[in-house]
Amino acid sequence: YPVNMVPVPMAQGISDGYLRPADGIATLAGRDDDFPNLITNGTFATDIASWTDYNTADITWDAATESMKINYTGGGSSEPASYQDVTTVADVSYQVTFDMTRLQAPVAGRPPSIGYCKVIDVFTGATLMDEQFYVEGLKTTSQALEFTASGTSTRIILGTIYVLGANFPLYLDNVE
């Protein structure tokens, strides 16, 4: 069934094909059996297939960490990222969860790295959610962010924002 939709029983006088919204929030994470994971290859166990570079990002698979490395190369955008389009149901709330890690040690006098998650409607370009967060040196930040879909195709964008003095790659993992 589509996420956050359940069949209405025949006993209620409606055909088997009719769906109604389910209760609660649909998660991209699929942590509830009723809500399957919509993300493809969010663990990056062997590659970064199903993900596309965004804003001229330098994205590569990192075998040592089994994660996606998102790196600012100095050219193109100052917000390199990767994205994946997922099928959604309009007016249904979703949650996306992920981990971002900075493997470089903190440097005195330099700021932490900044990660971001942006969610847009693929067809209209409307921004549904746009969050930024700090990623400290040698630490992982875990995020659980919510948005409400406005259509049937939604783009999940995850990346880093260039900050002078904090230009370190971020490693993305466990996207659900």
pLDDT in tens, 110-160: 888 899 999 999 999 999 999 999 999 999 999 999 999 999 999 999 999
Q: In the prediction, which pLDDT does 74 show?
A: 66
Give the span between the Cα atoms of 93 and 114, in whole angstroms: 25
Its pTM stands at 0.80
Q: In the prediction, which pLDDT does 55 show?
A: 81
Q: In the prediction, which pLDDT does 140 show?
A: 95
Q: Which residue has the higher pLDDT, 73 or 145?
A: 145
Give the span between the Cα atoms of 102 and 82, in whole angstroms: 16
- CB within 8 Å of 40: residues ≥ 6 apart: 49, 50, 84
> Among residues of the chain, what percentage have pLDDT more than 90?
57
Do 114 and 134 meet the contact criterion of CB atoms below 8 Å apart?
yes
Residue 160 tokens, joined: 């880093």
- pLDDT higher than threshold 70 for residue 35: no
**Cα 40–58–83 angle (5° rounding)?**
30
Residues making up the chain, counted from first to last: 176
Q: Which residue has the higher pLDDT, 34 or 27?
A: 34
What torsion do the CA atoms of 101, 160, 136, 119 make, to the nearest 10 degrees?
-80
Do 105 and 138 meet the contact criterion of CB atoms below 8 Å apart?
yes
* pLDDT interval class at 47 (50, 70, 90): very high
| Average of per-residue pLDDT values in the chain | 82
* Model confidence pLDDT, tens digit, residues 74-111: 665 688 899 999 999 999 999 999 999 999 998 888 88
- CB within 8 Å of 12: residues ≥ 6 apart: none
Q: In the prediction, which pLDDT does 4 show?
A: 44
- pLDDT higher than threshold 60 for residue 64: yes
- pLDDT higher than threshold 70 for residue 29: no
103: nearest Cα among 152, 136, 149: 136
